[in-house]
Amino acid sequence: MKVSVGISSRHLHVTKQHLEYLFGEGYKLEIDRPINQIGQFASKSFVTLKTENGLIEHVRILGPVRPYTQIEISKTDAYKLKINPPVRMSGDIKGSEPITLIGPKGTLNLNEGCIIADRHIHMLPKQAIMYGFTNDEEVMVKVPGEKACIMDCVKIRVADNSYFEMHIDNDDANANLIKNGDLLDIIKKK
Amino acid sequence: MKVSVGISSRHLHVTKQHLEYLFGEGYKLEIDRPINQIGQFASKSFVTLKTENGLIEHVRILGPVRPYTQIEISKTDAYKLKINPPVRMSGDIKGSEPITLIGPKGTLNLNEGCIIADRHIHMLPKQAIMYGFTNDEEVMVKVPGEKACIMDCVKIRVADNSYFEMHIDNDDANANLIKNGDLLDIIKKK
């Protein structure tokens, strides 16, 4: 079976408290455009990422606010920032890489929160049942073309309000010449 | 069987004529450090890559001079430069992407020469016989780890003066968390 690809550029999710610290009291995220995951959106707000030895400007906040602040970058970004974030699923930030966020009204030194997002496939509970997948199951995904490969250890994420889509970062997309909306084959393991 | 990995950052090879056009008459490449492929070296000379909509500075020339000028960049670089170079094996530059090189003494508009280097494994003729590979054979290469994958369509390049090594670019390395010197398994196809 096939899944369409959504390429995630570097971005972050923030708590309400951190958003106000960075942008000022009462600040609210505005929708620039909706993303495919239901209820989520690319906001009009950006921050700068800072580490001891690097800086990346103009990194977009995705909304709405979340119960945790999480910064998702690629390995290429990590080399630029000279840090070594772990590969993690969204929400699993305990002990992840420290990073500093700079907003127009405040600078926030986080002890953890920066990750490289693991490749994953979102689906609804009813789709998981219909297609025979379980939450956290690892599958393989076949990429055709001149730089063909089979990605292994791709996680299935089953949740309400999901849109059936595979998420990869820019490194995965560029290495394997994948474009937004490409349809790739999911392969069940054993 | 295992092969060690060499990660190729963006770089270029130049003809003697183009080198002198960019750096001045009689200019010679100096060795900064040898690379693993026998007789080849990272030189101390750099150029700027320019396209209609982008610029990348400080791109290293590998020596010695060659019968053709070839610029090898990653897909990430290609997005920065807003061009679409083909995936090619080294030396196969006919009809590849135009690009401009800027040196301290001259600016060179090339009608072709920019490629994304295809993943390949160098080996000596005697190694090819010993291990049972042929020139241009396609193999798969298994990458372990948290972002495990099987790279397909990896080309075997048999030539004298080779050093047994797999060459990938920064996109492949970063997407799959591969480091210089990592040992990967080669898998014969069919």
Q: Do A100 and A129 belong together in one domain?
A: no
User: What pLDDT is stored for residue B190 in this prediction?
Assistant: 78
Range of the domain at B170: 120-188
Taking CA atoms, what residue in A is nearest to B119? A147
Cα distances from A44 to residues A34, A66, B134, in angstroms, run 11, 16, 54
Q: Do B84 and B145 belong together in one domain?
A: no
Task: Give the distance from CA A57 to its chain's centroid.
Answer: 17
Residue B151 located in a structural domain: yes
Residue corresponding to tokens 């090339």 = B110
Cβ distance of A172 and B175 shorter than 8 Å: yes
Looking at A117, A139, A166, which one is the last position of a domain? A117
Which of A190, A160, A145 minimizes the C-alpha distance to A5? Answer: A145
Domain count, chain B: 2
Cβ distance of A149 and B148 shorter than 8 Å: no
Q: Does B171 touch chain A (CB under 8 A)?
A: yes
Looking at A117, A136, A170, which one is the last position of a domain? A117
Residue A62 located in a structural domain: yes
Residue A4 located in a structural domain: no
CA-to-CA distance for B11 and B20, rounded, in angstroms? 18
Per the CB < 8 A criterion, the answer to whether A172 and A6 are in contact is no
Cα distances from A187 to residues A2, A39, A128, A151, B43, in angstroms, run 9, 29, 14, 10, 45
Q: Do B74 and B94 belong together in one domain?
A: yes
Q: Do B103 and B137 belong together in one domain?
A: no
Q: Residue A168 belongs to what H/E stretch? A: strand A165-169
Q: How many C-beta atoms lie closer than 10 Å to residue B27's C-beta?
A: 16
Q: Residue A144 belongs to what H/E stretch? A: none
Residue A190 in this model has a pLDDT that exceeds 90:
no
State the smallest CA–CA distance between residue B146 and chain A in angstroms. 7
Q: Do A94 and A33 belong together in one domain?
A: yes
Taking CA atoms, what residue in B is nearest to A168? B175
Taking CA atoms, what residue in A is nearest to B75? A174
What pTM, to 2 d.p., does this model score? Answer: 0.94
Looking at B69, B90, B117, which one is the last position of a domain? B117
A17 contacts: CB under 8 Å, gap ≥ 6: none
Residue B82 located in a structural domain: yes
Taking CA atoms, what residue in B is nearest to A84? B177
Cβ distance of B150 and A150 shorter than 8 Å: yes
Residue B131 located in a structural domain: yes
Q: Do A40 and A72 belong together in one domain?
A: yes
Cα distances from B136 to residues A58, B2, B36, B72, B168, in angstroms, run 44, 18, 21, 19, 16
Cβ distance of A176 and B176 shorter than 8 Å: no
Q: What is the CATH number of the domain that holds B182?
A: 2.40.40.20
Q: Does A175 touch chain B (CB under 8 A)?
A: yes
Cβ distance of A74 and B174 shorter than 8 Å: yes
DSSP line for B62-91: EES--SS-EEE--HHHHHHHT--PPEE-TT
Q: Do A101 and A166 belong together in one domain?
A: no
Cβ distance of B151 and A149 shorter than 8 Å: yes
User: What pLDDT is stored for residue B132 in this prediction?
Assistant: 96
And the tokens for A91?
């929400």
pLDDT in tens, A105-154: 999 999 999 999 999 999 999 999 999 999 999 999 999 999 999 999 99
Q: Do A152 and A109 belong together in one domain?
A: no
pLDDT in tens, A40-91: 999 999 999 999 999 999 999 999 999 999 999 999 999 999 999 999 999 9
Per the CB < 8 A criterion, the answer to whether B89 and B155 are in contact is yes
Classify burial at B72, counting beta carbons within 10 Å of its beta carbon; exposed 0-12, middle 13-18, buried 19 or more.
Answer: buried
Residue A16 located in a structural domain: yes
Complex-level ipTM: 0.94
Q: Does A102 touch chain B (CB under 8 A)?
A: no
User: What pLDDT is stored for residue B188 in this prediction?
Assistant: 95
Cβ distance of A147 and B170 shorter than 8 Å: no
Which of A170, A159, A97 minimizes the C-alpha distance to A128? Answer: A159
User: Running DSSP on this structure, what letter comes out for residue A135?
Assistant: T
And the tokens for A140?
């393989």
